[in-house]
Chain A
Amino acid sequence: MSTHPSQRLDNIVHQRVRLGILAVLSEARHADFAYLRDTLDLTDGNLSRNLQVLEEANLVEIKKVFEGKRPRTWVTATRAGRAALKAEVAALRELLSQVDGTGGGQKKAKG
Protein backbone atom coordinates (compact mmCIF):
# COMPACT_ATOMS: atom_id res chain seq x y z
CA MET A 1 0.00 0.00 0.00
CA SER A 2 1.49 3.37 -0.99
CA THR A 3 1.91 6.07 1.64
CA HIS A 4 -0.26 9.16 1.64
CA PRO A 5 1.64 12.09 0.05
CA SER A 6 1.40 14.07 3.30
CA GLN A 7 3.59 11.36 4.90
CA ARG A 8 6.32 12.22 2.40
CA LEU A 9 6.47 15.90 3.37
CA ASP A 10 9.84 16.45 5.01
CA ASN A 11 9.65 18.21 8.40
CA ILE A 12 12.83 20.19 7.77
CA VAL A 13 11.93 21.29 4.25
CA HIS A 14 8.18 21.68 4.74
CA GLN A 15 8.30 25.11 6.29
CA ARG A 16 7.45 28.28 4.38
CA VAL A 17 10.76 30.10 4.83
CA ARG A 18 12.98 27.08 4.26
CA LEU A 19 11.02 26.08 1.17
CA GLY A 20 11.36 29.65 -0.07
CA ILE A 21 15.14 29.59 0.45
CA LEU A 22 15.46 26.34 -1.49
CA ALA A 23 13.15 27.62 -4.25
CA VAL A 24 15.32 30.71 -4.79
CA LEU A 25 18.54 28.69 -4.66
CA SER A 26 17.19 26.07 -7.07
CA GLU A 27 17.23 28.73 -9.80
CA ALA A 28 20.70 30.05 -9.01
CA ARG A 29 24.28 28.89 -8.59
CA HIS A 30 24.35 30.84 -5.35
CA ALA A 31 22.70 33.80 -3.67
CA ASP A 32 23.96 36.09 -0.95
CA PHE A 33 22.44 36.58 2.47
CA ALA A 34 21.07 40.06 1.69
CA TYR A 35 19.40 38.87 -1.51
CA LEU A 36 17.65 36.00 0.31
CA ARG A 37 16.64 38.27 3.20
CA ASP A 38 15.13 40.91 0.88
CA THR A 39 13.50 38.48 -1.54
CA LEU A 40 11.87 36.49 1.23
CA ASP A 41 11.12 39.59 3.32
CA LEU A 42 12.79 38.27 6.48
CA THR A 43 14.80 39.68 9.33
CA ASP A 44 18.51 38.80 9.61
CA GLY A 45 17.84 36.63 12.67
CA ASN A 46 14.99 34.71 11.11
CA LEU A 47 16.98 33.98 7.95
CA SER A 48 20.05 32.96 9.98
CA ARG A 49 18.07 30.48 12.06
CA ASN A 50 16.48 28.86 9.01
CA LEU A 51 19.78 28.73 7.12
CA GLN A 52 21.36 27.03 10.10
CA VAL A 53 18.66 24.34 10.08
CA LEU A 54 19.16 23.76 6.35
CA GLU A 55 22.95 23.70 6.72
CA GLU A 56 22.79 21.17 9.56
CA ALA A 57 20.64 18.95 7.32
CA ASN A 58 23.22 19.33 4.51
CA LEU A 59 20.66 20.97 2.25
CA VAL A 60 22.64 24.20 1.78
CA GLU A 61 26.28 25.24 1.95
CA ILE A 62 27.24 28.57 3.45
CA LYS A 63 30.47 30.36 2.55
CA LYS A 64 31.63 33.55 4.21
CA VAL A 65 34.07 35.53 2.09
CA PHE A 66 35.55 39.01 1.86
CA GLU A 67 35.03 40.89 -1.39
CA GLY A 68 37.45 43.76 -1.05
CA LYS A 69 36.83 44.91 2.51
CA ARG A 70 33.20 43.87 2.47
CA PRO A 71 32.15 40.59 4.13
CA ARG A 72 29.68 38.56 2.14
CA THR A 73 27.79 35.33 2.86
CA TRP A 74 27.03 33.16 -0.16
CA VAL A 75 24.50 30.36 0.11
CA THR A 76 24.33 27.41 -2.31
CA ALA A 77 21.78 24.59 -2.46
CA THR A 78 23.49 21.20 -2.27
CA ARG A 79 22.47 18.33 -4.50
CA ALA A 80 20.47 16.96 -1.56
CA GLY A 81 18.80 20.37 -1.13
CA ARG A 82 17.71 20.49 -4.76
CA ALA A 83 16.43 16.90 -4.54
CA ALA A 84 14.56 17.68 -1.31
CA LEU A 85 12.79 20.65 -2.93
CA LYS A 86 11.86 18.53 -5.93
CA ALA A 87 10.46 15.79 -3.68
CA GLU A 88 8.52 18.31 -1.60
CA VAL A 89 6.96 19.94 -4.67
CA ALA A 90 6.04 16.51 -6.06
CA ALA A 91 4.44 15.53 -2.75
CA LEU A 92 2.45 18.79 -2.63
CA ARG A 93 1.26 18.31 -6.20
CA GLU A 94 0.23 14.73 -5.47
CA LEU A 95 -1.57 15.85 -2.36
CA LEU A 96 -3.48 18.40 -4.39
CA SER A 97 -4.39 15.96 -7.13
CA GLN A 98 -5.60 13.40 -4.56
CA VAL A 99 -7.75 15.97 -2.82
CA ASP A 100 -9.13 17.18 -6.14
CA GLY A 101 -9.82 13.62 -7.24
CA THR A 102 -11.71 12.59 -4.09
CA GLY A 103 -13.17 15.68 -2.47
CA GLY A 104 -16.53 16.80 -3.77
CA GLY A 105 -16.77 20.55 -4.25
CA GLN A 106 -13.06 21.06 -3.61
CA LYS A 107 -11.23 24.04 -4.97
CA LYS A 108 -9.43 23.31 -8.24
CA ALA A 109 -5.65 23.08 -7.96
CA LYS A 110 -3.65 25.91 -9.43
CA GLY A 111 -0.39 25.41 -11.39
Chain B
Amino acid sequence: MTTSSTSEAAAHMLDELQSLRQRTRDELSGSWYSLFVFGVALLLFAALLVAARGAPLNAYWPIAFVVCLGLITRHYRQRVREVGVAKESWPFRLITAAVIVGVYAIGALASGTLQDIGPFLISAAGGLVFAYLARSVVLAASAVTLAAFTVALGMADVDHTTAILFAVFGAASLAMGFILKLRARE
Protein backbone atom coordinates (compact mmCIF):
# COMPACT_ATOMS: atom_id res chain seq x y z
CA MET B 1 0.00 0.00 0.00
CA THR B 2 1.37 3.45 -0.91
CA THR B 3 1.72 6.25 1.65
CA SER B 4 -1.05 8.14 -0.13
CA SER B 5 -3.52 5.27 -0.05
CA THR B 6 -2.67 4.53 3.62
CA SER B 7 -3.41 8.15 4.41
CA GLU B 8 -6.68 8.05 2.48
CA ALA B 9 -7.75 4.80 4.15
CA ALA B 10 -7.01 6.22 7.60
CA ALA B 11 -8.88 9.45 6.84
CA HIS B 12 -11.83 7.50 5.46
CA MET B 13 -11.90 5.25 8.54
CA LEU B 14 -11.84 8.25 10.90
CA ASP B 15 -14.65 9.93 8.95
CA GLU B 16 -16.73 6.78 9.09
CA LEU B 17 -16.21 6.40 12.84
CA GLN B 18 -17.10 10.04 13.44
CA SER B 19 -20.29 9.71 11.44
CA LEU B 20 -21.29 6.51 13.31
CA ARG B 21 -20.72 8.19 16.66
CA GLN B 22 -22.71 11.24 15.57
CA ARG B 23 -25.56 9.07 14.32
CA THR B 24 -25.73 7.21 17.65
CA ARG B 25 -25.57 10.50 19.56
CA ASP B 26 -28.46 11.85 17.46
CA GLU B 27 -30.44 8.68 18.06
CA LEU B 28 -29.88 9.06 21.80
CA SER B 29 -30.69 12.72 21.97
CA GLY B 30 -33.99 12.91 23.79
CA SER B 31 -33.42 16.20 25.61
CA TRP B 32 -36.44 17.68 23.84
CA TYR B 33 -38.86 15.68 25.99
CA SER B 34 -37.27 16.78 29.30
CA LEU B 35 -37.33 20.39 28.10
CA PHE B 36 -40.99 20.10 27.12
CA VAL B 37 -42.02 18.60 30.47
CA PHE B 38 -40.08 21.09 32.59
CA GLY B 39 -41.19 23.95 30.32
CA VAL B 40 -44.84 23.14 31.00
CA ALA B 41 -44.18 22.85 34.77
CA LEU B 42 -42.37 26.22 34.81
CA LEU B 43 -45.10 28.02 32.83
CA LEU B 44 -47.80 26.51 35.03
CA PHE B 45 -45.98 27.72 38.13
CA ALA B 46 -45.61 31.23 36.68
CA ALA B 47 -49.37 31.32 36.05
CA LEU B 48 -50.07 30.01 39.57
CA LEU B 49 -47.75 32.64 41.10
CA VAL B 50 -49.76 35.40 39.44
CA ALA B 51 -53.12 33.81 40.30
CA ALA B 52 -52.20 32.99 43.92
CA ARG B 53 -51.33 36.66 44.73
CA GLY B 54 -48.88 35.80 47.48
CA ALA B 55 -50.58 32.64 48.78
CA PRO B 56 -47.99 29.90 49.54
CA LEU B 57 -47.27 27.37 46.81
CA ASN B 58 -44.76 25.30 48.80
CA ALA B 59 -46.12 21.94 47.70
CA TYR B 60 -45.89 22.70 43.97
CA TRP B 61 -42.24 21.92 43.21
CA PRO B 62 -41.83 18.73 45.28
CA ILE B 63 -44.90 17.33 43.48
CA ALA B 64 -43.90 18.77 40.09
CA PHE B 65 -40.37 17.30 40.32
CA VAL B 66 -41.70 13.83 41.09
CA VAL B 67 -44.25 14.01 38.25
CA CYS B 68 -41.70 15.44 35.75
CA LEU B 69 -38.99 12.92 36.61
CA GLY B 70 -41.52 10.07 36.48
CA LEU B 71 -42.71 11.14 33.02
CA ILE B 72 -39.15 11.57 31.73
CA THR B 73 -38.00 8.19 33.08
CA ARG B 74 -41.01 6.44 31.52
CA HIS B 75 -40.37 8.17 28.18
CA TYR B 76 -36.68 7.13 28.09
CA ARG B 77 -37.40 3.52 29.08
CA GLN B 78 -39.98 3.26 26.33
CA ARG B 79 -37.57 4.81 23.83
CA VAL B 80 -34.77 2.41 24.77
CA ARG B 81 -37.14 -0.52 24.16
CA GLU B 82 -38.19 0.88 20.78
CA VAL B 83 -34.85 2.09 19.42
CA GLY B 84 -32.56 -0.52 20.98
CA VAL B 85 -29.87 1.78 22.28
CA ALA B 86 -29.49 3.40 25.68
CA LYS B 87 -27.25 6.14 26.91
CA GLU B 88 -25.46 6.38 30.23
CA SER B 89 -28.01 8.15 32.42
CA TRP B 90 -26.09 8.70 35.67
CA PRO B 91 -24.48 12.03 34.58
CA PHE B 92 -27.95 13.44 33.83
CA ARG B 93 -29.35 12.18 37.16
CA LEU B 94 -26.37 13.63 39.02
CA ILE B 95 -26.76 17.07 37.42
CA THR B 96 -30.52 17.08 38.04
CA ALA B 97 -29.96 16.22 41.73
CA ALA B 98 -27.23 18.90 42.01
CA VAL B 99 -29.52 21.54 40.46
CA ILE B 100 -32.41 20.63 42.81
CA VAL B 101 -30.15 20.78 45.90
CA GLY B 102 -28.50 24.00 44.66
CA VAL B 103 -31.84 25.71 43.95
CA TYR B 104 -33.22 24.89 47.41
CA ALA B 105 -29.94 25.76 49.16
CA ILE B 106 -29.58 29.18 47.55
CA GLY B 107 -33.27 29.88 48.12
CA ALA B 108 -32.83 29.13 51.82
CA LEU B 109 -29.41 30.69 52.43
CA ALA B 110 -29.30 33.80 50.21
CA SER B 111 -31.13 37.05 50.72
CA GLY B 112 -32.31 40.02 48.64
CA THR B 113 -31.88 39.91 44.87
CA LEU B 114 -29.68 36.82 45.02
CA GLN B 115 -32.51 34.92 46.70
CA ASP B 116 -34.75 35.82 43.74
CA ILE B 117 -32.34 35.18 40.88
CA GLY B 118 -29.95 32.60 42.45
CA PRO B 119 -32.13 29.55 41.75
CA PHE B 120 -32.49 30.62 38.11
CA LEU B 121 -28.74 31.10 37.73
CA ILE B 122 -28.18 27.61 39.13
CA SER B 123 -30.77 26.21 36.70
CA ALA B 124 -29.02 28.00 33.81
CA ALA B 125 -25.67 26.56 34.95
CA GLY B 126 -27.28 23.10 35.05
CA GLY B 127 -28.56 23.73 31.52
CA LEU B 128 -25.02 24.51 30.41
CA VAL B 129 -23.74 21.21 31.80
CA PHE B 130 -26.63 19.37 30.08
CA ALA B 131 -25.68 21.14 26.85
CA TYR B 132 -22.12 19.89 27.20
CA LEU B 133 -23.27 16.32 27.89
CA ALA B 134 -25.64 16.42 24.91
CA ARG B 135 -22.98 18.24 22.80
CA SER B 136 -25.69 20.78 21.90
CA VAL B 137 -24.64 24.28 20.88
CA VAL B 138 -28.30 25.40 20.77
CA LEU B 139 -28.83 24.36 24.40
CA ALA B 140 -25.57 26.02 25.51
CA ALA B 141 -26.47 29.30 23.80
CA SER B 142 -29.92 29.20 25.36
CA ALA B 143 -28.50 28.58 28.88
CA VAL B 144 -26.03 31.50 28.56
CA THR B 145 -28.75 33.82 27.23
CA LEU B 146 -31.08 32.88 30.09
CA ALA B 147 -28.32 33.48 32.66
CA ALA B 148 -27.57 36.92 31.16
CA PHE B 149 -31.28 37.78 31.11
CA THR B 150 -31.60 36.70 34.77
CA VAL B 151 -28.71 38.92 35.87
CA ALA B 152 -30.06 41.88 33.84
CA LEU B 153 -33.53 41.48 35.35
CA GLY B 154 -32.06 41.19 38.85
CA MET B 155 -30.09 44.41 38.36
CA ALA B 156 -33.08 46.23 36.88
CA ASP B 157 -35.01 45.53 40.11
CA VAL B 158 -38.45 45.26 38.48
CA ASP B 159 -41.66 44.01 40.12
CA HIS B 160 -42.64 40.35 39.84
CA THR B 161 -39.06 39.29 38.99
CA THR B 162 -39.72 35.69 40.07
CA ALA B 163 -42.92 35.28 38.03
CA ILE B 164 -41.25 36.82 34.96
CA LEU B 165 -38.24 34.50 35.29
CA PHE B 166 -40.43 31.41 35.68
CA ALA B 167 -42.38 32.43 32.58
CA VAL B 168 -39.25 33.19 30.53
CA PHE B 169 -37.47 29.98 31.59
CA GLY B 170 -40.65 28.00 30.87
CA ALA B 171 -41.13 29.56 27.43
CA ALA B 172 -37.43 29.12 26.57
CA SER B 173 -37.53 25.51 27.70
CA LEU B 174 -40.59 24.78 25.54
CA ALA B 175 -39.05 26.58 22.56
CA MET B 176 -35.77 24.65 22.91
CA GLY B 177 -37.66 21.38 23.23
CA PHE B 178 -39.59 22.22 20.06
CA ILE B 179 -36.40 23.13 18.13
CA LEU B 180 -34.58 19.96 19.26
CA LYS B 181 -37.59 17.81 18.38
CA LEU B 182 -37.72 19.33 14.90
CA ARG B 183 -33.98 18.79 14.43
CA ALA B 184 -34.27 15.19 15.62
CA ARG B 185 -36.88 14.51 12.91
CA GLU B 186 -34.69 15.92 10.10
Residues of A in contact with B (beta carbons under 8 Å apart):
6, 16, 19-20, 23-24, 26-32, 34-35, 39-40, 67, 89, 92-93, 95-96, 99-100, 102-103, 106-107, 109-111
Summarize A's interface: helix, strand, loop or mixed: helix
CA distance A16 to B12 in the complex (A): 11
Instruction: Point out the residue from A16, A89, A99 that lies within 8 Å of B3, measured CB to CB.
Output: A99
Summarize B's interface: helix, strand, loop or mixed: helix
| 5 A-B residue pairings within 8 Å (CB atoms) | A23-B21, A24-B24, A26-B21, A27-B24, A28-B85
Contact of A35 with B85 at beta-carbon distance under 8 Å, contacts A24-B24, A27-B25, A99-B6 already known = yes
Q: Give 3 nearest A-B pairs by CB, closest first.
A: A35-B84, A32-B84, A99-B7
Q: How large is the interface on B (under 10, 10 to 19, 20 to 34, 35 or more residues)?
A: 20 to 34
CA distance A111 to B18 in the complex (A): 8
Q: With a CB–CB cut-off of 8 A, which chain A residues contact B3?
A: 99, 102-103, 106
Extra contacts, 11 of them, besides A23-B17, A27-B21 (Cβ < 8 A), are: A20-B20, A23-B21, A30-B85, A31-B84, A35-B83, A39-B23, A67-B81, A103-B3, A106-B7, A109-B14, A110-B14
**Minimum Cβ distance to chain A for residue B28 (Å):** 6
CA distance A19 to B21 in the complex (A): 11
Q: With a CB–CB cut-off of 8 A, which chain B residues contact A34?
A: 84
Write the chain A residue with the least CB distance to B18.
A111
Q: Report if B184 contacts A (CB, 8 A).
A: no
**Minimum Cβ distance to chain B for residue A64 (Å):** 14
Are B24 and A106 in contact, CB atoms less than 8 angstroms apart? no
